[in-house]
Structure 1
Amino acid sequence: MQLLSLGLNHKTAPVDVRERFAISKQAVRDGLENLNEYEGISEAVILSTCNRSEMYAVVDDAQEDLATLKQFLFDLTGNEEDIDAYLYSFVDEECIRHLFRVASSLDSLVLGEGQILSQVKDAYAIAREAGTTSTVLNTLFHRAIATGKRVRTETRIAYNSVSVSYAAVELAREKLGPLEQSSALIFGAGKMAELTAEHLVSHGIKKIYVANRHFEKAQDLAARFHGEAVPFEGALKHAADIDVIVTSTGAPHYVVKPWETRQLMTKRKGRPIFFIDIAVPRDVDPEVSNIKGVILYNIDALEAVVDEHVQERQAEARGAERIIEEEVQSIEDKFQYLSFRPLMALLSERCERIRLREIHRASSKLPDLTKSERRQIEHMTRMIVRKILRMPMMKLNASAGTPNEQFYIDAMRALFKLDTIGETGTSEKRHNHYRYAEQ
């Protein structure tokens, strides 16, 4: 088996492509629940943020199963357009390295931002809840999260780092000048909206309005910043005197449309208004930018925002890369020891089948056994199997990574006829096939 990742991000695809392949949390859960329909994929984690849609999987054969993983992406998003030009894929070590760089924010739109590590944790938690992770991805994601934390602890890459929300506010300040006499309307009440409100207040914004589909959440967020909640439907009716609108909802469709924006601009009598759309999928219909007086920026525009600390963080990134290489090598060594797990599982399963078969035969000849006696027999036979297997298992583990490793793999397969369970090819090929394998 092999590790395989497939995805697209802000470096390879513009926002109009990313939004078509954004994956909602519900779609992630639904897709993972039906993972068994995709032959060749045994484990999977799906990471979808405003800047990336990625899948990490344990597959039988990376070359053969890449098409299956791509179909999984299409099914998750409901799209089947030709996007090969935007996709990237990584196998085995490169897959590990890519995930570690993502978790360490080296692959982020804003270098050093901290939100991505939480998003990696959330993606892994959803997959674990769905039961689509086992030995390999559990090991991989635990180490990726630990690597992200280590990078943030041992380097200053997060020092004076900015978030997408901060960059949005910086863009507003760059275009409007000082914000002390300005007001803002925020669509959304999630973490991104909360961070946006914090940054606006820290820059002295005069008044904040919050619109959210759940009005109570809008009220809670607005109250924290002495702002005002407005109804989500018809929110632009309250924007006649607002200078900047930041949108950050999780809606799968546009929440700001041309017609209501034209009505707003009529009321404003030509006074310009700034829209900063940091949502993916986008919240603001791109046609809004064609309306006179409207200046619209989407998330891709934030990359051009000047960051005075970026050079310092780029220097720290070099130290982070060294940490990542150490962690990649370390987990490679760990996966080497996992190479015996499938062999051990096959041996354990074979012994367990023999045990259960013999108990069944004995039970038919001993119909008067009590429940207590049956439990005693179950326990006794389990202990016999465990003790018989203990020394072979210890010998296998001790030989991992040594010149004798292949000898013991071949010997165990031959002695217990484990090759009869679907494995073909040379012993070397079989060993490589199982290098990244689930327990």
Structure 2
Amino acid sequence: MKSGMQLIALGLNHKTAPVAVREKFSLSPEVIRDGLKKLYKYEHLREAVVLSTCNRSEIYAVVRRGSGNVLASFWGDLNNTECSPEFFEQYTYKYEDEDCIEHLLRVTSSLDSLVIGEGQILSQVKHAYAIAQAAGATSTILNLMFNRAIAAGKRVRTETRIAFNAVSVSYAAVELAKGTFGDFSHCSVLLFGAGKMAELTATHLMSQGLKKLYVANRHIERAIQLADKYGGTAVDLNDVFGLLDQVDIIITSTGAPHYVIYKRDMMRVMAVRGDKQLMLIDIAVPRDVEPEVGCLPGVKLFNIDDLEAVVDDNLQERQREAIRAQRIIQEEVDALLERFNYLSMQPVMAQLTDKADFIRERELKRAMRKLPDISEEEYKVMERMTHMIVRKLLRDPMRMVNNTAGTSRERVLKYAIRKLFKLQEESIDE
């Protein structure tokens, strides 16, 4: 890695913060994109990628060594909140350099997920990286790291059985409901939301024999599309609360930034339902259901943090595969660290190559002026010959430069090459 630069990951996840905290730091792609476009305002913050999912909010960054506190400022501005030192100590984690690399690879390999082996996280990391690239917030270091991490995630899923028979959050939600109602053949379920999570939930519900499915969504067209796929009924949002006295289970997974089900509404619903029990499973972050709804008689309310017990029951086999996955991750970390070692020598190597190639082209043009009748084929032979002379002359110096990268000899060799070949000094960031 470039001398003076440091890799840092700052974040919180399902292990360090409850959903009531996580939802406050859930960011939309638009907010992330706007924040990353203003990266230039933060002194010593060189590159950044922001990952925000239902179970984690993280910033991966390249900062000037010793300037890690700049991430706290960027975090606060991005989330439009001021966090105390006590908050960071209680809820967040921070990984540096090699630990940062390993953490990202564990994330892309789904070893750090609520559900080990789940498949969504890899696409979520890809999306986060794409947003950062489009915002101009990444360069050499994070480009290398994220490309390697994404490749490692694919490799883990290909070379291990970590994803075999893996549960998902939506599967866990259905299993939780099944534990209470048993047979779904006499139940009716309302899905609040029509995105990917809702579709996965519908798939699991129908595989368990559900006969009556309702789908409500802000965009009725998407509700109709999902309901038709599974033989269900689409419901307009304005008609939802008139329906709730008929359903047994509500599973919510909208992307709304606010509650979509409030206690005041559910009080009226439960008054109509009488003694009929109602289960609500809220797998959205930010949460869809006001927490006080769970205090109403006859209501059982669960959120995403309550799914851990279901997930744990299905964990043993994937934990064995996780050991194999960790070996792959360590191989990938070592390979990436080796690449980063070479980065510190790349500027001087590039300068030396550029200068040699400039001289080669200049002298070739001079020779061509003295050989006006040379054929195109003869010109290509001469050009290739001069190119190979330069390449072979630089081969040994380049090998030596690579071998000293990251060692105590690096600084001396860089200085000697610059002096011998009169190369330009590196900028302060290098």
Pairwise CA RMSD of aligned residues?
Answer: 2.6
Distance 1:268 1:409, change over 3 A: same
Deviates more, 1:413-422 or 1:168-177: 413-422
Match of 2:16 among 12, 31, 34: 12
Name the SS of the counterpart of 1:8 in structure 2: strand
Kindly report which structure 2 residues correspond to 1:26-37, keeping only aligned pairs within 5 A, or say none.
26-37=30-41
Name the SS of the counterpart of 2:69 in structure 1: helix
Q: Distance in 2 between matches of 1:230 and 1:72?
A: 41
Task: Give the letter for the 2:75 counterpart.
Answer: L
Distance 1:315 1:181, change over 3 A: same
Paired residues, number: 391
Deviation, 1:79, is 1.8
Q: Distance in 2 between matches of 1:139 and 1:237?
A: 53
Task: Give the letter for the 2:33 counterpart.
Answer: R
Deviation, 1:263, is 1.3
Contact 2:216 2:223 in 1 (8 A): yes
Deviation, 1:411, is 1.8
Q: Deviations over 1:304-362 (max 9, x none)?
A: 1155441111111111111111111111111111222344577899x8xx99xxxxxxx
| Aligned match of 1:336 | 341
| Aligned match of 2:112 | 107
Q: TM-score of the superposition, structure 2-length normalised?
A: 0.85
Q: Distance in 2 between matches of 1:347 and 1:258?
A: 70
Contact 1:275 1:296 in 2 (8 A): yes
Q: Deviations over 1:121-178 (max 9, x none)?
A: 1111111111211211111111111111111111111111001111011101012212
Q: Does 1:267 align with 2:269?
A: no
Distance 1:148 1:328, change over 3 A: same
Task: Give the letter for the 1:80 counterpart.
Answer: E
Q: TM-score of the superposition, structure 1-length normalised?
A: 0.83
Q: Distance in 1 between matches of 2:396 and 2:174?
A: 59
Task: Give the letter for the 1:395 counterpart.
Answer: P
Contact 1:277 1:283 in 2 (8 A): yes
| Aligned match of 1:362 | none
| Aligned match of 1:431 | none
Q: Does 1:255 align with 2:255?
A: no
Deviation, 1:243, is 0.7
Contact 2:345 2:401 in 1 (8 A): no
Distance 1:75 1:244, change over 3 A: same
Name the SS of the counterpart of 1:226 in structure 2: coil
Q: Unmatched 5+ residue regions in structure 1?
A: 356-383, 424-433, 435-439
Contact 2:167 2:314 in 1 (8 A): no
Name the SS of the counterpart of 1:252 in structure 2: coil
Q: Distance in 1 between matches of 2:96 and 2:312?
A: 34
Deviation, 1:189, is 1.1
Q: Distance in 1 between matches of 2:252 and 2:332?
A: 38
List 4+ stretches of structure 1 deviating above 2 A: 306-309, 341-349, 387-398, 401-408, 412-423
Q: Unmatched 5+ residue regions in structure 2?
A: 360-385
Match of 1:135 among 133, 140, 158: 140
Contact 1:289 1:296 in 2 (8 A): yes
| Aligned match of 1:68 | 70
Deviation, 1:397, is 5.9
Name the SS of the counterpart of 2:270 in structure 1: helix
Q: Distance in 2 between matches of 1:17 and 1:173?
A: 28
